Amino acid sequence: MNHRIGIPDSEFVRGDIPMTKQEIRILTLAKAGIGSGDTVIDIGAGTGSLSIEAALLAKEGRVIAIEREPEGFDLIQVNAAKFKTANVEARLGAAPEALAGLPAADVILIGGSGGKLPEILGCADKLLKPGGRLIITAVTVETLSTALSNMRQRSAYSVEACCVQVTRIQQVGASNMFKALNPIYIIACNKEG
Residues of this chain that interact with its own copies (CB under 8 A) are 1-6, 23, 26-27, 30-31, 33-36, 57, 115, 139-145, 148, 152, 160-169, 171-172, 174-185
Q: Shortest Cβ distance from residue 162 to its own copies (Å)?
A: 5
Q: Report the nearest approach of its own copies to the CB of residue 169 (Å).
A: 4
Give the burial string for 138-152 (b: 16+ CB within 10 Å, else e): beeeebbebbbebbe
**Coil, helix or strand at residue 191:** strand
CB of 141 to its own copies, least distance (A): 4
Alpha-carbon gap, residue 1 to 54, rounded angstroms: 13
Task: Provide φ and ψ at 189, rounded to 5°.
Answer: -125, 115
As measured in angstroms, the least distance from the Cβ of 105 to its own copies is 16
Going by C-alpha positions, the residue among 114, 115, 118, 125 that lies closest to residue 41 is 125
- The residue among 77 and 152 lying less far from its own copies, judged by its C-beta, is 152
Query: For residue 40, with 0-12 CB atoms within 10 Å meaning exposed, 13-18 middle and 19 or more buried, which class applies?
Result: buried
